[in-house]
Chain A
Amino acid sequence: MNQRPAIDLAGLPTFGLGPRSPTWWGTLGFMALEGMGFALAAGAYLYLATLWPDWRLSAPAPNHWPGTIVTLLLIVSLVPNHILNRYAKQCSMGPVRIGMVVMSLLGLAPFVVRWFEFPALNIYWDTNAYGSMLWVLLGLHTTHLITDVGDTIVLTVLMFTHHGYSGRRFGDVGDNVFYWDFVVLTWIPIYLLIYWLPRLG
């Protein structure tokens, strides 16, 4: 069909950060579906917990200390995460490289403690349903952590190559910051469910 030029797009920028970029919305979409998965797993846990009068099913209470240390590490990591975000918005390469290295290390640190977290649950996954749910919740979050830290490390390496000097890569750093916030945020309710809910029973 016939066409008539109505508007000119030549002056538009070639990238945008945050909600202006499709990648940000894609990240949000994946957060929504992963968050839904977490919510349902937590819902299943609460469903079982309310079903049985003596929840914990006579198992010993978990030792909360490794989990508490992970929680503190994750909360502390939010500070450099948001400093990194500021530099990513300014597209300033030096501080972004430093920030990405710091965030990779702060991503790896919780794994060291997490290694001690599983035995500190004081129950195995195949002992009873309470044990199963603790391992499922902790396992879900660990998978989440592994994928995001893996992604952070790859992006860190990328920022040290010439591919880093691109608006789109700085946008990726911003989205990585955004996603890390989500990893930390999802941990808080899981932490409470694993370590503190059983103490109520």
Chain B
Amino acid sequence: MSSADLTSERDLPSEREASAKGDIAPEHDGPRDTGMDDASLHHWLTRTWRTPPGIIGALSSVDHKVIARRYLITAFLFLCLGGLNAVVMRIQLSGPQRGLVGPDLYNQLFTMHGVTMMFLFAVPIVQATGIYLVPLMVGTRNIAFPRLNAFSFWIYVSGGLFAWVSFALAMAPDVGWFAYVPLSGPEYGPGKRADVWAQMITYTEVSSLAVAVATIVTVFKQRAPGMSLDKIPLYVWALLVTSFVVVFAMPAVMITSTFLILDRLVGTHIFNPAEGGDALLFQHLFWFFGHPEVYIIFLPATGMVSAIIPAFARRPAFGHLGLVLSLIAVGFLSFGLWVHHMFATGLPKLGASFFTASSMLIAIPNGVQIFCWLATLWDGRPVIRTPLLFVFGFFFTFVIGGLTGVMLASVPLDLQVHDTYFVVAHFHYVLIGGSVFPLLAAAYFWFPKITGRMMSERLGRWHFWLAMIGFNTAFFPMHIVGLWGMPRRVYTYPAELGWGNINLFISAGAVLFFLSFVLFAFNLVHGALRGATAGDNPWDAGTLEWATSSPPPSYNFARIPVVTNVEPLWAERGALPVATGLRVDVRELLVSTVAEAYPDIREKSATPSIWPLLAAIAVGATFLYSIFTPWAIVWGAAPIAVTLVGWFWPKGDPEDEE
């Protein structure tokens, strides 16, 4: 392949000639990687791309891998905390009239469980996986807008701390993870608990939105030369579609939480029916976000499955185009179903029918994906390792969740089981089956890339069976107890109802499921410290993240790879084609065209900076203060402005000048 194949004349408009004549300081050129031997190349790139030493250096890091590792560890800690919430609730419910926790604490427990799992674990961990993998998979050296990415992490941490410190002070939200008005409104939600919910949402959504924009631009503009749209890995497609869903769904929940806090803090009447507002408006706005939210969690998981299955089936994914189109179709359809969360609110019949139909429609592209995966496995020679076991667990569990989903999409059945444990069982099958099992598969699959070591296969198999048995023991009987009429969100029940034995069984399953995560945590630590050395490509997979060392160097690739196939490493077994000509003394990476990924610009990537952390502190403090007084926005504006100017003002690095 020659450079002429990849550089189209139409992509080089006349602006370039015009700009050459403009008032621009001449470029200070530096050493290039062309013809440089491997040792000096490594030496130069390490010096240019490293995260500075020391505590300030660590806090200034803009390396996507460093940020992603922090994100992953933080999200895992929140998973543990949310899981402990669940364990306490299950102990309380293990028998009738138990007195471990009272109603007030129980309300906080289930709210914190939901909020933590959705906003502090599920969304951040799928985005964090993307922050780590997307730049590696598209063959670039850092994520687009690396400082924005660092900022998003600090905002996320401050949101999580805010929620959990509130919980420690017994002022955690107690209104359910969706905080419906009027319960959360000024009349029925005294104190600061609902405000904590509202502002925690604002923190985490700002963070998710920032990551979504950075991911979209990375995929659009920083792909390796030759990675045209049809050669983008399926996992990257999944993250791209997810990021678009985030961009259009998350503003809805920010609007909802902002309206709520305005009603509570300054006396607006947006959700107050007595003064021309409407309580159902809250539910519409919330679920306009809340339903796509499910797919924000699920779509990246399907991307993980699409990456893992080809590696273990030893053939490229069957129906690549069908899989991509399914992802896009699910992304669009996810915006057309929100009302099925509101069937019990007395909607007009036509509306209910429409949303029943659309809810069933989304099963079609999801079904297409499942059949493509099955076909890939059928036609391949599957090698059964732990990641693939968890993918099988995903199939089994998610399909059950999907079937109860189709049941719940029909209004008469939904009305019958609304707010019962049947619904709890359904969404745990969908969320744990559809997202957590693929995440566990992904953990075993990409752990060697992140740490350079393997996790134990034997412990992995124990983990898988313990998780499958524990999960199904805990959640399958919830369908039954739900059909018997046990409502969600009750802190106890009388013995006469006869729910005692089945609840004891459920709690035993929950303990098993919890123990499976203890085993997983042990396997993670054991693997990181004692695991066998992994090498660059332990699974002999075909995508670009496996072309570099494990763990990857700060600059990801010594030379930017050139892509010729959807599984580039399988297509170029002899030697990977690479691009040369980039500077090595400044952070230079390649910007390419959106559709064809023709090389276009040698772009400078931002250098480490402490300012994103300072900006996050200023923004976080403003959000925190704003639950007490609206003037916080006025007083907070100055420090936010100062830190943002500090962030963007050029400091004289060569990276700032071009």
Contact = CB atoms under 8 A, between A and B. Distances in A.
Contacts of A170: 19, 22, 24
Contact of A3 (B212, B559, B645, B648): B559
Nearest to A91: B22
B591 A21 contact: yes
Given A9-B599, A12-B602, A170-B22, A44 B285 contact: yes
B246 to A, nearest CB: 8
B577 A8 contact: no
A174 B16 CA distance: 15
B251 interface: yes
A22 B575 contact: no
A6 interface: yes
A14 B270 contact: no
A119 interface: no
Contact of A6 (B263, B278, B288, B577): B577
Given A17-B19, A33-B213, A36-B248, A129 B599 contact: no
Interface stretch (A74-82, A103-111, A131-139, A187-195): A131-139
B247 A6 contact: no
Contact of A32 (B247, B559, B580): B247
B305 interface: no
A173 to B, nearest CB: 12
Contacts of B604: 14, 168
Contact of B2 (A7, A22, A25, A41): A7
Contacts of A12: 581, 590, 599-602
A36 B537 CA distance: 42
Contact-size category for B: 35 or more
B interface SS class: mixed
Interface in B602-658: 602-604, 641, 645, 648-650, 656-658
B145 interface: yes
A158 B650 CA distance: 9
A65 interface: no
A150 interface: yes
B54 interface: no
Interface string A90-106: 11111000000000000
A41 B255 contact: yes
B252 interface: yes
Interface in A107-163: 125-133, 135-136, 150, 154, 158, 162-163
B597 to A, nearest CB: 12
Given A20-B601, A25-B217, A2 B574 contact: yes
A127 B27 CA distance: 60
A105 to B, nearest CB: 19
Nearest to B248: A36
B278 A166 contact: no
Contacts of A182: none
B270 A129 contact: yes
A131 B580 CA distance: 61
Interface string A4-43: 1111111111111111111001100110111011001100
Nearest to B275: A128
A36 B31 CA distance: 45
B536 interface: yes
B266 A125 contact: yes
Contacts of A10: 32, 34, 580-581
A135 B15 contact: no
A52 B272 CA distance: 13
A22 B270 contact: no
Interface of A: 1-22, 25-26, 29-30, 32-34, 36-37, 40-41, 44, 47-48, 51-52, 57, 89-94, 125-133, 135-136, 150, 154, 158, 162-163, 165-168, 170
Please list the 5 inter-chain residue pairs (A to B) with the smallest Cβ-Cβ separation, ordered nearest first. A91-B22, A10-B581, A6-B577, A129-B276, A132-B268
